[in-house]
Every structure is written in C-alpha cells, then in structure tokens.
C-alpha cells in the first residue's frame, strides 16, 4: 500500500501515516492546470478523508493508475496542501460587482449562515452595509447630517432613505439592519428568521447599489467588443 504522512483531521493525530487509496487529477475549466486530490485512510483512527495535494515530483503520474501495486512512501512525490471540507461552502449567491473588501465579508457572512452562526452572520452583513453606505455620504457638511449620523449606521440609513440615496422600496427591510443588526452586535440574541431578513436587505441593497451598474458596464464592454470585431 502506498503511504503518506500528515496530520489527520478526523482524530487530530499529528504526523500520522495514511494509506493512499486513490489519486485523481481533474483539469480545471480553463484546461491550463489541474486539481490534484488523494483519498486517504488514517492508520490511527481507520477513518477516510480527501485531501488536496501538491505535486512535488511529476513522476508521481507513473504511479496513479495502479497505486495499490506500490509499497512505497509518497512523501517525496506529493504533500498534503489542505483537506477537502464543506466548511467554506455556500449555497446562496452574492450580488454581482461587489468591491473585493465587501465581497469577502459578504461571503464570510454566508458561511456563518450555513453553520447556524446567526449573530456572527448578522453582524458581518451589517458591516457590509456599513462599508457600502459610507461612500454614499457627501464629503461636505450638509444640514441634517450630523457627525454622529456619519458614524452611526442606524442614523446614516435614516438620512440616506430620507434624502433618496436608498430606495423607498427598501425602507421596510432596512428596519432589520437598524434594529436586529445592532442587537446582533450587542446582545447576540438573533434567530434564523432574523438573520434571513438581514440577508434579504443586504442582498437587495447591494444588488441595487453595485450589480446593476456592473451588468450595464459588462453589456457595454460586450457591445464595444462586437463593434471592434465588425470593424475588423
């Protein structure tokens, strides 16, 4: 049996020996590289796991078809890069066109939702709205927009809705950010229904703020590319 050493994610044993049951390489969609994975069995707990592997020596391809025939250690050929897990998988989508710093936080909130971490998800969605709405405020001093309102998301949302910077259609949903989002930060008492409402507002707000312009820009780019092709 082919062998590989690593840390077992099932029994948490450090430097344990795995039996390599199967190796597989799957081309990515762009066909320029491959995803390499190994199906392993821990010799300490007898449980199996899948790992993403790093190829250390290209000669490993000579062993993949009949791996059971080789009684050697593969440590000089491959190394465990990470273990395959659903921990970061998300079933809900993110709005198109989000800036990177908001997109990463939105995805983090979705992961929290998937694992039932309602207060963490709500707080992170609230952060997304906080970051996005700061850019909607005028740089100059404006009557009715106090320094406290600039800092406080609840007051900022009130001002933005009142002054037409946020659609009136979202006003009712905005209440969940103003109240539940604040409660998630300070009291941590939210349930699944609360965080679903916060997700709805965050998604629709960010969709309106970023996705529509993103799609328009993408459509213009496609049209420009077609016009260039016609000219050539």
Report the CATH number that the domain containing residue 112 is assigned in CATH. Answer: 1.20.120
Does pTM top 0.85 for this prediction? no
188 within a domain of the structure (yes/no): yes
152 and 204 in a single domain? The answer is yes
Per-residue confidence (pLDDT) for residue 13, from 0 to 100: 94
21 and 111 in a single domain? The answer is no
Per-residue confidence (pLDDT) for residue 69, from 0 to 100: 60
Q: What angle do CA 49, 53, 58 make, to 5 degrees?
A: 140
217 within a domain of the structure (yes/no): no
185 within a domain of the structure (yes/no): yes
207 and 178 in a single domain? The answer is yes
Q: Provide long-range contacts, Cβ within 8 A and 24+ apart, for 177-180.
A: 177/125, 177/126, 177/129, 177/153, 177/201, 177/202, 178/153, 178/154, 179/154, 180/122
141 and 104 in a single domain? The answer is yes
25 and 109 in a single domain? The answer is no
Per-residue confidence (pLDDT) for residue 46, from 0 to 100: 95
227 within a domain of the structure (yes/no): no
pLDDT, averaged per 10 consecutive residues of the chain (232 residues), comes to: 90 93 76 80 95 83 62 83 78 88 94 89 90 88 84 85 80 65 60 87 88 83 79 69
Per-residue confidence (pLDDT) for residue 64, from 0 to 100: 60
114 and 75 in a single domain? The answer is no
Full domain range(s) for residue 76 = 3-83
118 and 178 in a single domain? The answer is yes
119 and 185 in a single domain? The answer is yes
Per-residue confidence (pLDDT) for residue 186, from 0 to 100: 56
150 and 189 in a single domain? The answer is yes
Per-residue confidence (pLDDT) for residue 30, from 0 to 100: 58
73 within 8 A of 4, measured Cβ to Cβ: yes
229 within a domain of the structure (yes/no): no
218 within a domain of the structure (yes/no): no
Per-residue confidence (pLDDT) for residue 50, from 0 to 100: 93
CA distance 164 to 25: 53
230 within a domain of the structure (yes/no): no
User: How many folded domains does the chain comprise?
Assistant: 2
Per-residue confidence (pLDDT) for residue 44, from 0 to 100: 96
225 within a domain of the structure (yes/no): no
204 and 108 in a single domain? The answer is yes
25 and 79 in a single domain? The answer is yes
17 and 104 in a single domain? The answer is no
């Amino acid at each position: 049996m082919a062998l590989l050493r690593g840390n077992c994610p099932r029994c948490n044993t450090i430097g344990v020996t795995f039996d390599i049951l199967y190796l597989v390489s799957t081309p990515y969609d762009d066909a320029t590289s491959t995803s390499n994975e190994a199906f392993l069995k821990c010799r300490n707990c007898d449980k199996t796991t899948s790992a993403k592997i790093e190829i250390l020596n290209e000669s490993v391809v000579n062993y993949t078809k009949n791996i059971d025939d080789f009684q050697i250690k593969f440590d000089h050929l491959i190394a465990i890069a990470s273990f395959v897990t659903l921990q970061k998988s998300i079933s809900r989508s993110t709005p198109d066109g989000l800036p990177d710093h908001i997109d990463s936080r939105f995805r983090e909130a979705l992961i929290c939702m998937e694992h039932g971490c309602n207060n963490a998800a709500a707080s992170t969605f609230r952060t997304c709205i906080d970051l996005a709405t700061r850019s909607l405020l005028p740089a100059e001093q404006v009557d009715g927009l106090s320094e406290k309102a600039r800092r406080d998301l609840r007051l900022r949302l009130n001002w933005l809705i009142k002054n037409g910077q946020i659609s009136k259609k979202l006003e009712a949903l905005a209440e969940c950010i103003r109240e539940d989002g604040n409660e998630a930060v300070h009291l941590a008492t939210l349930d699944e229904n609360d965080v679903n409402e916060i997700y709805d507002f965050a998604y629709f707000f960010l969709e309106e703020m970023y996705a529509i312009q993103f799609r328009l820009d993408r459509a213009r780019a496609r049209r420009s590319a077609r016009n260039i092709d016609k000219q050539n």
